[in-house]
Amino acid sequence: MGNLTLSIDGTNVELESGRSFTSVLAGLSIGNKEKILGLYIDGTLYDLHQPIGTGGTVRLVYADTDEGLGILRHSTSHIMAQAVRHLFPDVKLAIGPSIKDGYYYDFDFTEPISSHDLERIEEEMYKIVEEDQRFERFTKPREEALQLFKKENEPYKVELIEDLPDERELSFYKNGDFVDLCRGPHIPSTGYAKALKLLSIAGAYWRGDERNPMLTRIYGTSFFNAKPLKGYLNRIEEAKRRDHRKLGKQLELFSFHEEGPGFAFWLPKGMVLKNKLMEFWREEHEKAGYVEVQTPIILKKDLWVQSGHWENYRENMYTTEIDGTPFAIKPMNCPGGMLIYKEKIHSYRDFPMRVGEVGLVHRHEKSGVLHGLFRVRSFTQDDAHIFMLPSQIKEEIIRVIRLTERIYSVFGFSYHLELSTRPDKSIGTDEMWELATGGLEEALTEIGIEYEISPKEGAFYGPKIDFHLEDCLGRLHQCATIQLDMSFPERFDLTYIDQDGSEKRPVVIHRTVLGSLERFIGILIEHYAGRFPLWLAPVQIVVLPITRDHSEHASFVYERLKSESFRVELDDRNEKLGYKMREAEVAKVPYIVVIGAKEIEASTVSVRKSGKKDLGSMKLDELVSLMEDEITARSRPDELK
């Protein structure tokens, strides 16, 4: 048995082949040894108890890193499965990976369980943690492993092994009385999982395919100690507090009704948000050289057959009939836009033609996926189609990216980009797809912006670049999308007359910036926690007289503010100041003005900025110009002093 050489931080350490890293750890002069969970040797991950067979350069994995947390959570999923097995001996095991903020494990229970069972599973888990069981790794030949799981009646494990490549070594991990097929690595022992919490229970199809059996998935999270767990649970609470469905009701922005599942009703205050947002959108698009059109919501089925929607998007479309002829309700604006283009002959000189359409589209979503404003069946898309020469592709895509960046910057979002490639269900030739995908890539490279690739996620008619917005809680939402389309021009026989007098095909970009107005507003509500910037706030200012004696003057102030086009309310109800003040604060009105004897005497108003910032007294004119500046600049609350 020969010696191996491990290079750790430039120092060489000798290790006998087949021994684990633990055997040399004691002799090493490095700090934080108790936080080491595993190690990479030339890129291969080992846990501490695993026999090591090759030497190389070592990178240690510590507990207080994302990688370390991932290992912990994966191990915690084993602990959960073990606890579940103790309580429900007949359960069959599927898979249990670590995910972004925790882990899950999928089970096939003989009897359904409910969220009430989570508590006792968690108790059982803590027992296992207290026993501080060692995670031990071993391997088995394929046949033996298959026999084992067949004997133990674990059909999902059998299927997993059968799908693994023949040459793959099958590793197992054992802790206490629990053994699971597992690639590893794991924490050295169960005692490392000091802080854990089961979060929810849900159904999940085996391997995510709805044709497969529905399993029961239990979600949980874990940390190395209690403090970050508490922080994580607080973050969940904060997210609940900001939930747009809750705030939307509380602030009277929109509502949903049983009579229209997935269809939002916009209330007067929500309409202000919608309209102000569109006002801003139109300003920016006009500056960027767009014109605007509007096409009908219902169009003949034949059109959707021609566009390919009937074949590729049928299951998401609502249909109807007019005078015996089948019609469909538009799920997208493009076919209508194509008809407008075809209405006259175009010259290459017309290009690029940037044609916007703020269109109401309807898409059938499965009942189970509806979610507030984020996932609806009817939404307003801030669409546009850009008709152009193939040579203008790169330039136009760059312009769209720049426009999107400009609009997003006003809201203070951060975001990342994704390039989605050809899906399985699609129209067009391979050549078109390559050309189109290449065009998008080229634009991204030229602009020097980072992006990820998401394979097979493109639209059926072309590849796309998506903007994923990150809200202040770090959650991602897809909004803007830029899709390059070389199929519709073909299908709709779009042409232009080129310089040499010949007829040619234009290229089309489909793009949105906000994506869905509904979803975007949902994100805004959560991003601002309902405390909107002044330019968007449904009510910008409320005037509070202290007593009835001050009502007349308050009414004068109110009229003046109204004449300056502010969205202002006068609250001269017969209530105490504190009461009305509280109500204005709860309604998150940005400015609160108090009128009493002192203010009437000095011809001033007493101004309070929502969020307890008392600005003191000032002349009404001062307040007007202060607010005007804030609105014109479209300042965000976090930009103000």
Partner RNA sequence: GCCCACAUAGCUCAGUCGGUAGAGCACGUCAUUGGUAAUGACGAGGUCACCGGUUCAAUUCCGGUUGUGGGCUCCA
Which lies closer to RNA via its Cβ, residue 425 or residue 582? Answer: 582
Task: Name the one range near RNA by CB under 7 A: 10-18, 381-389, 444-452, 580-588.
Answer: 580-588
Task: Tell me the closest approach of the beta carbon of residue 233 to RNA, in angstroms.
Answer: 14
Q: For RNA, how many residues bind (rule: CB under 7 A)?
A: 70
Do 2 and 31 contact (CB within 8 A), yes or no?
no
Query: Which residues on adjacent β-strands are paired with residue 359?
Result: 381
Task: Tell me the closest approach of the beta carbon of residue 391 to RNA, in angstroms.
Answer: 36
**Options 18, 53, 97, 141; binder of RNA; rule CB under 7 A:** 97
Do 599 and 613 contact (CB within 8 A), yes or no?
no
Retrieve residue 491's tokens.
């299908």
**Options 48, 72, 161, 536; binder of RNA; rule CB under 7 A:** 161
**Options 147, 548, 565, 621; binder of RNA; rule CB under 7 A:** 548
Is residue 611 at the binding interface for RNA, with CB under 7 A as the rule? yes
Do 205 and 488 contact (CB within 8 A), yes or no?
no
DSSP β-ladder status, 214-223 and 102-108: antiparallel
Retrieve residue 407's tokens.
């609009």
Task: Tell me the closest approach of the beta carbon of residue 443 to RNA, in angstroms.
Answer: 27
Pattern 114-133, RNA, x by CB under 7 A: xx------------------
Retrieve residue 456's tokens.
């097979």
Angle of helix 393-411 relative to helix 430-447, nearest 10 degrees, comes to: 50
Is residue 265 at the binding interface for RNA, with CB under 7 A as the rule? no
**Annotated catalytic residue 381:** yes
Which lies closer to RNA via its Cβ, residue 177 or residue 283? Answer: 177
**Annotated catalytic residue 182:** no
Is residue 138 at the binding interface for RNA, with CB under 7 A as the rule? no
Which lies closer to RNA via its Cβ, residue 154 or residue 383? Answer: 154
Task: Tell me the closest approach of the beta carbon of residue 194 to RNA, in angstroms.
Answer: 23
**Options 309, 477, 608, 636; binder of RNA; rule CB under 7 A:** 608
Q: Where are the alpha helices (DSSP H) in 39-97?
A: 66-87
Is residue 371 at the binding interface for RNA, with CB under 7 A as the rule? yes
Is residue 528 at the binding interface for RNA, with CB under 7 A as the rule? no
> Phi and psi of 157, rounded to 5°?
-65, -40
- Which residues in 464-565 belong to E strands, given as ranges? 464-470, 476-485, 496-497, 503-504, 507-516, 541-545
Is residue 95 at the binding interface for RNA, with CB under 7 A as the rule? yes
- In 3D space, the residue among 156, 153, 146, 161 whose CA is nearest the CA of residue 213 turns out to be 156
**Options 150, 227, 230, 366; binder of RNA; rule CB under 7 A:** 366
> Phi and psi of 328, rounded to 5°?
-130, 150
Pattern 202-221, RNA, x by CB under 7 A: xxxx-xx-x---x-xx-x--
Cis peptide before 533 (omega within 30 of 0): no
Do 320 and 327 contact (CB within 8 A), yes or no?
yes
Q: What is the CA radius of gyration of the chain?
A: 31
Q: How many CB atoms lie within 10 A of CB 503?
A: 10
Is residue 329 at the binding interface for RNA, with CB under 7 A as the rule? no
> Helix, strand, or coil here: 177?
coil
Cα(349)–Cα(498) distance, rounded to whole angstroms?
8
Which lies closer to RNA via its Cβ, residue 346 or residue 609? Answer: 609
Which lies closer to RNA via its Cβ, residue 474 or residue 611? Answer: 611
- In 3D space, the residue among 150, 117, 112, 248 whose CA is nearest the CA of residue 528 turns out to be 248
- In 3D space, the residue among 511, 520, 480, 524 whose CA is nearest the CA of residue 357 turns out to be 511
Which lies closer to RNA via its Cβ, residue 245 or residue 491? Answer: 245
Task: Tell me the closest approach of the beta carbon of residue 166 to RNA, in angstroms.
Answer: 11
Do 27 and 16 contact (CB within 8 A), yes or no?
no
Is residue 175 at the binding interface for RNA, with CB under 7 A as the rule? no
> Phi and psi of 56, rounded to 5°?
155, -165
**Considering 73, 78, 334, 572, which one is annotated as catalytic?**
334
Query: Which residues on adjacent β-strands are paired with residue 362?
Result: 378
Which lies closer to RNA via its Cβ, residue 338 or residue 459? Answer: 459
Is residue 170 at the binding interface for RNA, with CB under 7 A as the rule? yes
**Annotated catalytic residue 309:** no
DSSP β-ladder status, 98-99 and 102-108: antiparallel
Is residue 168 at the binding interface for RNA, with CB under 7 A as the rule? yes
DSSP β-ladder status, 541-545 and 591-595: parallel
The set of residues, in sequence order, having a beta carbon less than 8 Å from that of 403 and lying 6+ positions away, is: 284, 285, 288, 513
Do 452 and 416 contact (CB within 8 A), yes or no?
yes
Is residue 596 at the binding interface for RNA, with CB under 7 A as the rule? yes
Which lies closer to RNA via its Cβ, residue 157 or residue 276? Answer: 157
Which lies closer to RNA via its Cβ, residue 498 or residue 549? Answer: 549
Is residue 574 at the binding interface for RNA, with CB under 7 A as the rule? yes
**Considering 47, 106, 383, 485, which one is annotated as catalytic?**
383
Task: Name the one range near RNA by CB under 7 A: 54-62, 91-99, 394-402, 499-507.
Answer: 91-99
Pattern 222-261, RNA, x by CB under 7 A: -----------------------x---x------x-x--x
Which lies closer to RNA via its Cβ, residue 41 or residue 161? Answer: 161
Is residue 531 at the binding interface for RNA, with CB under 7 A as the rule? no
**Annotated catalytic residue 383:** yes
**Options 171, 295, 555, 635; binder of RNA; rule CB under 7 A:** 171
Strand order in the sheet with 3-8: 11-16, 3-8, 56-62, 36-41, 44-47
Task: Name the one range near RNA by CB under 7 A: 354-362, 492-500, 514-522, 547-555.
Answer: 547-555
Is residue 575 at the binding interface for RNA, with CB under 7 A as the rule? yes
> Phi and psi of 61, rounded to 5°?
-105, 125
Do 74 and 98 contact (CB within 8 A), yes or no?
yes
**Considering 217, 330, 510, 636, which one is annotated as catalytic?**
510
- In 3D space, the residue among 42, 35, 34 whose CA is nearest the CA of residue 69 turns out to be 35
> Helix, strand, or coil here: 182?
coil
Is residue 529 at the binding interface for RNA, with CB under 7 A as the rule? no
- DSSP run (H or E) holding 531: none
Task: Tell me the closest approach of the beta carbon of residue 96 to RNA, in angstroms.
Answer: 5
Which lies closer to RNA via its Cβ, residue 406 or residue 548? Answer: 548
End-to-end CA distance of the chain: 70
Cα(597)–Cα(322) distance, rounded to whole angstroms?
67
Which lies closer to RNA via its Cβ, residue 27 or residue 208? Answer: 208
**Annotated catalytic residue 363:** yes
Which sequence positions are flagged as catalytic? 334, 363, 381, 383, 385, 464, 510
Binding footprint of RNA on the chain (CB under 7 A): 95-100, 112, 114-115, 160-161, 164, 168, 170-171, 180-183, 200-205, 207-208, 210, 214, 216-217, 219, 245, 249, 256, 258, 261-262, 366-372, 546-549, 574-579, 581-582, 585-586, 592, 594, 596-599, 606, 608, 611-612, 614
